[in-house]
Amino acid sequence: MRGAGEREVLLVVHPDRDATTGAARDVAARLAAAGIRLRVVDDEVRRIVEPPGHDLPCAVVAPYDNPAGGTELVLVLGGDGTLLRAAELARPAGVPILGVNLGRVGFLTEADYDALGETVEGVVQRRYRIEERMTIDVTVTHGDVVTASTWALNEASVEKSSRERILDALIEVDGRPVSSFGCDGVLCSTPTGSTAYAFSAGGPVIWPDVEALLVVPSNAHAMFSRPLVVSRSSVIVVHVDPHGSPAVLTCDGLRHFDLERGSRVRVVAGGVPVRLARLWDGPFTDRLVHKFSLPVTGWRERHARRT
Asked if 96 contacts 274 with a C-beta cutoff of 8 angstroms, the reply is no
CA–CA separation, 214 and 135 (whole Å): 12
Per DSSP, the residues of 88-133 read: HHHHHHT--EEEEE-SSS-SS-SEEGGGHHHHHHHHHTT--EEEEE
DSSP 3-state of 188: strand
DSSP bridge pairs for 261:
none
Please indicate whether residue 80 is annotated as part of the active site. Answer: yes
Residue 69 — φ and ψ, nearest 5°?
Answer: -60, 130
Side chain identity at 200, as an amino acid letter?
A: S
CA–CA separation, 59 and 45 (whole Å): 9
Among residues 42, 55, 65, 80, the one annotated as catalytic is 80
Asked if 260 contacts 242 with a C-beta cutoff of 8 angstroms, the reply is no
CA–CA separation, 59 and 12 (whole Å): 13
* Number of CB atoms found within 10 A of residue 33's CB: 11
> Which residues carry out catalysis?
80
